[in-house]
Amino acid sequence: MTRPWQIGFGVVLTALAGFVDALGFIRLGGLYTSLMSGNTTQLAVALGHGEPLGAVLPALLIGAFLVGAVSGGAIAALCPPRWVTPAVLGLEAVALTAAVALAAEHAHVGVASLFLALAMGGQNAVLAHVQGFRAGTTFVTGALFAFGQKAALALAGRGPRLGWVGDGSVWLSLLVGAVAGTLAHAHLGIAALAIPAVVAAGLCLAATLFTLVYRRAPVTLTKI
């Protein structure tokens, strides 16, 4: 897969993660479906306050994310390299579709949030690095740090003048995706979950077609 396609996939996937996380945050009252550091803190606070019931959902979300990460990693390890990207995106699309179905049936995220977390865990097996910066992951703390580092090197004249652009674009794509998710929820409610499911399915189809058309070149993006 060519570098422009890698970058495009990475930006869209990161925005999708922001979209899903915003929806989860709104519906779950401060918990996340992709940022597990926040859920780990929530889990620790609940346990520290002696509130085991309050620790259940953060723990389940972390567990679902881990299941998704293991599943995505297993697919990446077992699939022929050229089919890794469409296969992992297929897993993500199925998990997001299941979340949509469950949310529509019960009119709240509830169990659906676990499928969102599973999808986000799997997504991290699709992309890792694109020519020196992280893209397509569901967290951007590392990208933000790298952005600061590379900006400092550029200002000091010790690094490429535009070396920070890639990491900055990753952070910005998560921000834009989260804003879009918030606006979509305001207008569509829980039905907004259908948007990331359609996007993931579209990316899966695009990756599949790319693999079939360019049979001589590996389609898989750099794995974690």
| Average pLDDT of the segment spanning 101-129 | 80
What residues contact residue 112 under an 8 Å CB cut-off, 6+ apart? 98, 99, 100, 101, 102, 103, 106, 193
Q: Which two tokens stand for residue 169?
A: 């674009």
- Residue-level length of the chain: 224
- For residue 109, what is the DSSP state? -
- Higher-confidence residue: 5 or 153? 153
Unique residue bearing structure tokens 């996380």? 21
SS3 219: coil
Q: Does domain 4-209 have CATH number 1.20.1250?
A: yes
What is the rounded average pLDDT for all residues in the chain? 85
The Cα 123–Cα 137 span in angstroms is 7
The amino acid at 174: L
The amino acid at 100: V
pLDDT band at 127 (very low <50, low <70, confident <90, very high): low
Q: What are phi and psi of 90, to 5 degrees?
A: -65, -45
pLDDT at 132 > cutoff 60: no
The Cα 182–Cα 188 span in angstroms is 10
What residues contact residue 223 under an 8 Å CB cut-off, 6+ apart? 76, 84, 125, 128
pLDDT at 222 > cutoff 50: no
The Cα 76–Cα 220 span in angstroms is 9
The Cα 99–Cα 64 span in angstroms is 12
What pLDDT shows up at residue 129? Answer: 45
Closest CA to 180 of 4, 9, 10, 26: 26
Number of H-type helices and E-type strands within the chain:
8, 2
pLDDT at 78 > cutoff 50: yes
pLDDT in tens, 4-36: 677 788 889 999 999 999 998 998 888 899 889
What residues contact residue 13 under an 8 Å CB cut-off, 6+ apart? 123, 126, 127, 135, 136, 137, 203
Is-contact 67 84, C-beta < 8 A? no
Q: Which two tokens stand for residue 29?
A: 């009252």
SS3 129: strand
The Cα 112–Cα 193 span in angstroms is 10
